[in-house]
Chain A
Amino acid sequence: MTNETNSKTASVDEVLDKGEYKYGFTTLIEADTLPKGLNEDVIRAISLKKKEPQFMLDFRLKAYRKWLTMKEPAWPNVRYPKIDFQDISYYSAPKPKKKLESLDEVDPELLRTFEKLGIPLDEQKRLSNVAVDAVFDSVSVATTHKKKLMEVGIIFCPISEALQEYPELVEEYLGTVVPIGDNYYAALNSAVFTDGSFVYIPPDTISPMELSTYFRINTEETGQFERTLIICAENSYVSYLEGCTAPQFDTNQLHAAVVELVTLDNAEIKYSTVQNWYAGDPETGKGGIYNFVTKRGKCAGDNSKISWTQVETGSAITWKYPSCILQGDNTQGEFYSVALTNGHMQADTGTKMIHIGKNTKSSIISKGISADHSSNSYRGLVKVNKGATNARNYTQCDSMLVGDQCSAHTFPYIETANNSVQLEHEASTSKISEEQLFYFEQRGISRENAITAVINGFCKEVFKQLPMEFAVEAQKLLTLKLENSVG
């Protein structure tokens, strides 16, 4: 810790010495934004601001104490300057974004992107935060959908709201999939998270629609430390969408989210992500977002299923491994991923499939595309425990290289301690076949369109897992991203 932060801590301590709820502490509480730095008082202040139950404060403090003993991981295949965790403000009150009068005020670059992605005009306005006419707003997706969900008993709300209204549900499941000390960033998130979604699907319920973060967060900035908890009770199904194809800008450089999924008997969660964070200056790679996310699902009940689909096209550094713990018997885990890196982006992403129950199945399809000066790594673990009789895994991770300055890596770990398993792992790395391009060009299709077609074909297995609208946008997004990379 630096001297400066020491003095900061001391001043807060002095204030607190006067008694817990006296003057000094309330200024912390009343402030819109907490001063930079992290200590136990900051955590107490966050918890108090959010009016959280006692168990939550204990959870946060335990995580913080654990975090202090941990070291920042050095094993990922990414490089970035050291992060000063005392130079971050861990809480600021949600601020509404500045409303714009019309689309004319929006950055023309952003509008051009919208157009290429084929986003409808009303949606464009919503995304760039232009005030929309009352009619559109009142019948907005968010309000109508919320009503429908309430009818079937689905809880879908910010996690801070859930902590007050359904504390017993949160207490039962929070931290059961990603324990507070799981890794450095998960511990930090557990200590300081302020925002995120909570979903509870009651037994025997098929969610009538796809849930999306998109209609929960509308005018507020997304948090830096998001926490998502989705619980799918017996015989239920939900499909959850996170992110959107539109480019997202954020003033916070470090993002350390945690996502936990739990499925009980015969339940199924399908979690799809399309991420397009700001990746930094394409020439120098400066200023991009660091996305250090811990995503994990636990198939706790028998016959349950968790499926992760991700299309990663953004953030300067991506460090995430959506994983499945296949605990119940006959459970299934799936991971479909397209990770595209260009400019100076670095991605170290993959999955973990932990087979514990009997007759568990998992499949992994990962497609990596690297272009320009980027580096793209797949890192995956398939672990079969001793009791996981008849476990089955199929893994395929393919990489495609566009240009000779980029790199692609695969680091699979396959560990088996059971003889009734069947595991297959395949990987290949190659560039776009000249023969295929020649064929297209010979048919009169331009080289650029030919490359798009080949890349979309390469990713097809993943795209077909995405909900329809997402899939269409995702395809366009890849084309857009590669526009200046392919000569």
Chain B
Amino acid sequence: MSESAVKKTESPETAVLALHEKFLGGDQAKASLRPVNQAGIERFELLKFPHKKHEMYTFVNTHQLAGTAFELAADSPVDTAWVQSKIYPACKNSVLVFVNGAFQENLSDLSGLGDSFKIRCLAEAVAEDEIKQTLLDSLEDENDVFAAINSAFVHHGVWIDIPAKATFGSPLQLLYVSTGSASAPVTSHPRLIMRLGEMAELKMIVAYAGTRENYFINAVNDFIVKDGAGVTFTQVQKDDAESWHCSKTRVQLHRDARFFGRNASSGNRLTRHHYEVRLKEDGAELHLSGASVLVNQEQVHNFIRIHHEAPHCSSNQLFKNVINDKGRSSFDGTVIVDKGAQLTNSDQLINNLMLSDEAHADNKPNLMIFADDVKCTHGTTVGQIDEDQLFYLKTRGLSQELAKSLLTTSFVDSLIQTIPFPDVVADLDEILLKKLEAKHA
């Protein structure tokens, strides 16, 4: 933005700075997290909101989001029954509930996870130098303005430490509920830091849900996965259609560590998933996938940076989007293979199915390779339902509508079905596929 424009009207940046001052003066801010808040807002001032041509946000229009004056979400009571309906049956005894970013002890239940599961409030955990340093380090090279804002406003947040060799019978669910506000748009900044000890295994589901429109949830998740440990991390985005959603997931993978990241987005004003994964030691393995079904003017953006820093690592990505009406799907993914990261194997594939002539699909699958003995591929397709497949189904007696609906649903369902939690699969079938059927009916 040019300087003159800033002077003319109050810039979105000053609104955030004002809110930050209010936050620091209020009773929500935690003294122990103050250095992080300070470093976060400094980073924000440096980064500023993206202008139209910012390379990282080429396909994402953050103008409206940046231009909205948000209030901080207050700790408000919620409809307990409604929240409970959002808890997956398999996670009944292994669930952490957050309302507007604040941990709800009365709604959470960790009895199914046993003693080895250690969770602490971030404000308390930050007293340890190592944890504080981890938080501050993450800001050093922060390139995402929204993640910087998260650090500037973080006050709840949890720190989870999984000891070596720990495994758990049931998956852990994190449920982020946003209540919105009748008076003004509100924002919450949940933060999760998780460290998995050697050979530990954890399966987790993060679900985002909202009770009312007009909120902005801006989550940051950090994972430090030690040697031989493995994480299954599934994000289910089913926020209100009128909300904004940003989430950044930062992962460090050590020797032979594995990370299975999945996301499914039902779409809203803007959903932006940001992944930054570092495969730091030999044998690390990464799988990322995402599915979205977009209607009306919904937009989903996946922004991915994968750094192969060590030899013998592998990563693969598979994203599928169905776009209808004026929906907009975009993908910006880069795989960086550092010097010396030989014998890297990396795949990237994005498939888009366009159902309307006003839909948009923008893709930018990049490769940056500094090592020679590697196998890296990427592919993108944009298209409609295959006429041959349609014809085949019609020869079998299916009507045009039925054949079309079958092919469209199976396009996303093929990805949803790979999620290893039957509850989540059923939930997504309900949300995403219903959305498609509603259109066909």
Q: Which residues of A contact B (CB under 8 A)?
A: 75, 386, 389, 399, 401-431
Contact = CB atoms under 8 A, between A and B. Distances in A.
Contacts of A414: 361-364, 380, 382
A425 B362 CA distance: 12
Interface stretch (B7-15, B100-108, B351-359): B351-359
Contact of B367 (A415, A420, A422, A429): A429
Interface residues of B, number: 38
B289 interface: no
B406 interface: no
A401 B372 contact: yes
B374 A430 contact: yes
B167 interface: no
A404 B373 contact: yes
Interface in B362-415: 362-384
Nearest to B365: A412
Given A419-B354, A430-B374, A431-B374, A408 B360 contact: no
B422 to A, nearest CB: 33
Contacts of B361: 414-416
Contacts of B430: none
Contacts, number: 121
Given A420-B384, A430-B376, A413 B364 contact: yes
Given A386-B357, A424-B381, A425-B379, A410 B363 contact: no
A428 B344 CA distance: 13
Given A402-B372, A423-B381, A423-B383, A418 B357 contact: yes
A423 B372 contact: no
Interface in B304-350: 339-340, 342
Nearest to A434: B373
A411 B362 CA distance: 13
B140 interface: no
A425 B359 contact: no
Top-5 shortest CB links A-B: A401-B372, A419-B354, A425-B380, A423-B382, A414-B363
A304 B197 CA distance: 63
A296 to B, nearest CB: 20
Nearest to A429: B376
Contacts of B376: 428-430
Contacts of B340: 404
B374 A421 contact: no
B364 A419 contact: no
B375 to A, nearest CB: 5
Contacts of B360: 415-417
A401 B369 contact: yes
Contacts of B59: 415
Contacts of B352: 416
A419 B356 contact: yes
A430 B379 CA distance: 15
B382 A404 contact: no
A430 B367 CA distance: 12
Contact of B369 (A409, A415, A424): A409
B369 A407 contact: yes
B115 interface: no
Nearest to B58: A413
A421 B383 contact: yes
B61 to A, nearest CB: 14
Contacts of B380: 412, 414, 423-425
B141 interface: no
Contacts of A401: 369, 371-374
Nearest to A393: B382
Contact of B55 (A75, A404, A406, A423): A75
A103 B340 CA distance: 47
Contact of A426 (B374, B375, B379): B379
A338 B66 CA distance: 43
- Identify which of B340, B356, B372 gathers the most chain A CB atoms within 10 Å of its CB: B372
A431 B372 contact: yes
A420 B377 contact: no
Contact of A407 (B368, B378, B383): B368
Given A386-B357, A421-B354, A404 B381 contact: no
B348 to A, nearest CB: 9
Contacts of B359: 417, 419
Choose among A412, A413, A429 the residue with the greatest number of B CB atoms under 10 Å from its CB.
Answer: A429
A427 B375 contact: no
Most-contacted residue by chain B among A75, A389, A401 (CB, 10 A): A401
B357 A403 contact: no
11 contacts: A407-B370, A408-B369, A410-B378, A411-B364, A412-B365, A415-B362, A416-B354, A416-B362, A419-B354, A425-B381, A427-B367
A409 B365 CA distance: 11
A414 B367 CA distance: 14
B381 to A, nearest CB: 5
Nearest to B336: A409
B367 A419 contact: no
B113 to A, nearest CB: 43
A173 B139 CA distance: 52
Contacts of A404: 339-340, 342, 371-373
Contacts of B377: 426-429
B374 A429 contact: yes
A381 to B, nearest CB: 10
A420 B368 CA distance: 31
B375 A430 contact: yes
B379 A406 contact: no
Nearest to A413: B364
B374 A420 contact: no
Contacts of A412: 363-366, 378, 380
A410 B383 contact: no
Contacts of B374: 401, 429-431
Nearest to B354: A419
A236 to B, nearest CB: 34
A431 B370 CA distance: 12
Contacts of A425: 363, 365, 378-381
Nearest to A399: B369
Contacts of B364: 411-414
A287 B336 CA distance: 30
Contacts of B355: 419
B372 to A, nearest CB: 4
Given A423-B380, A425-B379, 17 more contacts: A389-B357, A401-B373, A402-B372, A403-B372, A404-B373, A408-B367, A410-B365, A411-B366, A412-B378, A418-B354, A418-B357, A420-B384, A425-B363, A426-B377, A427-B367, A428-B377, A429-B374
